[in-house]
Amino acid sequence: MSVLIKGGTVVTADLTYRADVLCADGKIQDIGSDLDAPKGAQIVDAGGQYVMPGGIDPHTHMQLPFMGTVASEDFETGTAAGLAGGTTMIIDFVIPNPQQNIMEAYQQWREWAEKSVADYTFHVAITWWDDTVSQDMETLVRDHGINSFKHFMAYKGAIMADDEILVNSFSKAIELGAIVTVHAENGELVYRLQQKIFDMGITGPEGHPLSRPPEVEGEAANRAIRIAEVLGVPIYLVHTSCRQALESITRARNEGQRVYGEVLAGHLLIDDSVYRDPDFNVASAHVMSPPFRPKENQELLWRGLQSGNLQTTATDHCCFCADQKAAGLDDFRLIPNGTAGIENRMEVLWHHGVRSGRLTMNEYVAVTSTNAAKIFNVYPRKGSVSVGADADIVVWDPAATKTISARTHHQNVDYNIFEGMEVTGGASTTISQGKIVWSDGKLNVERGAGNYIMRPAFASYYDAMQKRAEQSRPQAVDRGSSRPQAVAHGKGG
């Protein structure tokens, strides 16, 4: 079955132009004016609408076992909710327990993800270190299309990566041609502040942001960036939430370091006043790490996107319902960390980004899709509307309106952090693998239809160093010729 999108305006990270788009066999087959519909093709009328690459959420946690419970959203319901909002691919996280075999954890997550209804891939977290971890990283890159490794600098006593782990893992990553990602919070400081604040008698959700102030994120961000600088590995900071972390990223990028920053839709739009809501269910529903910040950080984060110092937007989609959050009713330290957002990311960023004038449409496509595809090496297969690319497309109606609510969303969680927000602009049709999976406000998805996406490694450190050495090798001049002649390697001139 083929799909012909007629009469729309194609918007990519680079271009905006009128064209029809023909999809067949899971790929974009043709782009042009007044394309003829093949026999039996489904026709999507995109008149007055925009045809964009499907969104890529580079940071989700479906079905995550965490803090004594398991996230309420699994890979089937989570990827379906994403499609309803125009997101056609996720990058989730394999998170081994301390001392757990890395490949064992990877296989477990692959098994859980088999029910995905849209395409997916993984970052793999490094939570401990020995020679087997090093070997497993190599296997993952070589045989399983993993090119990014995650490091939690928080959660002491559980999955926290200390400096020794960071140095070992970063060194291995650059050898393999992989990128490293970090959750930047100083775990030791968080641990001590949590205890101090609890001992002061602050036990409710308002204690959460007090125990994780912006300074602990800024310190960890700077430390991780400096370690990456010394070792020469590219680094990606997830959920950048505050001025201190953004300043570390900006400084490093200005110095020419290969540093990337991600910002969550929630951090752009929600401030820390939510933790002071007298209703525990409302306050605890917003408990995530890093926490929502004082309002002045929001405008700085928008400027980070506008300037290009932050390149991607994500959700950190990790859902826990009210009964799960209630585990911390008397101790904020026990509230499972996580919020939802995969269904609403594209909507709220369009409304508050494009419609406000903060972002152009092309910049919007870049920060919701294309940049993630480029950073994690699946471009132009993903993140583009081009012939030969995967037919993952969202037809976007700029005039569509809705009020976001947990009563009507498709996410498997009983609260929505954007509850009551009125937005203009939304997905009228979502196409995944060349099939219409969202149209007229209805999902038409198939359990297990999602593909696991392999992501090739980048050029390895050793390849790059050898090439640099060859380029800088001294040359001697042959006195009988005007052409330079390389000095024999290892011998005197």
| Rg, Å, the chain Cα set | 24
Residue 435 amino acid letter: K
Domains, the chain, with CATH or none: 54-388+397-423 (3.20.20.140)
Among candidate residues 339, 335, 340, 367, the one with its CA nearest the CA of residue 352: 367
If one counts every other C-beta atom within 10 angstroms of the C-beta of residue 132, the result is 12
Q: Are 253 and 246 in contact (CB under 8 A)?
A: no
C-alpha to C-alpha distance for 180 and 169, rounded to whole angstroms? 8
If one counts every other C-beta atom within 10 angstroms of the C-beta of residue 339, the result is 23
**Vertex 441, ends 440 and 444: CA angle to 5°?**
85
Q: Tokens representing 306?
A: 């506008």
pTM confidence score: 0.93
313 strand-pairing partners: 263
435 strand-pairing partners: 432
In the sheet that 3-6 helps form, which strands lie side by side, from edge to edge? 27-32, 20-24, 3-6, 42-45
Q: Are 189 and 219 in contact (CB under 8 A)?
A: yes
Per-residue pLDDT tens digits of the chain, which is 493 residues long:
899 999 999 999 999 999 999 999 999 999 999 999 999 999 999 999 999 999 999 999 999 999 999 999 999 999 999 999 999 999 999 999 999 999 999 999 999 999 999 999 999 999 999 999 999 999 999 999 999 999 999 999 999 999 999 999 999 999 999 999 999 999 999 999 999 999 999 999 999 999 999 999 999 999 999 999 999 999 999 999 999 999 999 999 999 999 999 999 999 999 999 999 999 999 999 999 999 999 999 999 999 999 999 999 999 999 999 999 999 999 999 999 999 999 999 999 999 999 999 999 999 999 999 999 999 999 999 999 999 999 999 999 999 999 999 999 999 999 999 999 999 999 999 999 999 999 999 999 999 999 999 999 997 655 665 676 677 766 544 434 333 333 233 323 2
In order of 76, 157, 180, 198, the CA distances from 333 in angstroms are 30, 13, 28, 8
Half-sphere exposure of 180 (CA within 13 A, CB side): 34
